[in-house]
Amino acid sequence: MRNVALTLCLAIAACTPAAAPDPVNADNSVAESIVQEAVVVNEAERAIPFDPELMTVELGGDGIVIRTAGHIRPARFENATQEFVERMMADFGKPERSDGPEDCPAGKLNFLEYPNHLKLAFQDGKLAGYWADESSLGVATEGGIKPGSPRTALGNAPTKEASFGKLVTVDGAVAMLDEKETKVTDVYAGAACIYD
């Protein structure tokens, strides 16, 4: 928008009373070019790709820590409001919104899934959980565990059997393993629609 404002200022500064167009019969080409430039700038702003080097989310047992452009903001379960989380996650792009099923074991949940494929769960307007899978970018626990990490990265942490997979607790979060227990496929914590 700065370029648009600068263009507009220069266009106004360049106009003298003698050269000002007749408002009734004015040529709209200048106004149209300013509008077109504004559209291009807005499209460029929306097209900024997710950069896991600049934008990361630390996954923990009690919530997440959002790191973007010099800002570090913790968002804790049952404390951080959805409005706060959306504001802090704005650099990650516009999320897709969805509602959980009515019979969710954790209760009624609303979800935001961001372009980096991190899914956040909200209950009664507060952050209640998260889920990251192997398509999720820029996410990891404090110890660096993320979907795709090898089982060996979890050390000797014991494996728990569940009806939906094999689980390991790591850095307060839950890591789900593949069938052969060779790697982490998902990391989650808090409220989730899991039917066990």
Write out the DSSP string of 111-153: EEE-TT-EEEEEETTEEEEEEEETT--SEEETTS--TT-BGGG
Residue given tokens 């998902």 in the structure block = 186
Closest C-alpha among 147, 152, 150 to residue 174: 147
Burial of 112 (0-12, 13-18, 19+ CB in 10 A): buried
pLDDT value at residue 43: 40
pLDDT value at residue 171: 95
Reduce the DSSP state of residue 177 to 3 states and report it: strand
CA–CA gap between residue 113 and residue 136 (Å, rounded): 10
pLDDT value at residue 21: 42
pTM attached to this predicted model = 0.72
Full strand arrangement of the beta sheet holding 118-123: 96-99, 110-113, 118-123, 126-133, 184-190, 173-177, 165-170, 160-162
The token pair at 182 is: 């060779």
Q: Enumerate residue ranges in the chain where pLDDT < 50.
A: 1-48
Residue given tokens 């360049």 in the structure block = 14
- DSSP H helical ranges for the chain: 2-14, 29-46, 82-88
pLDDT value at residue 163: 84
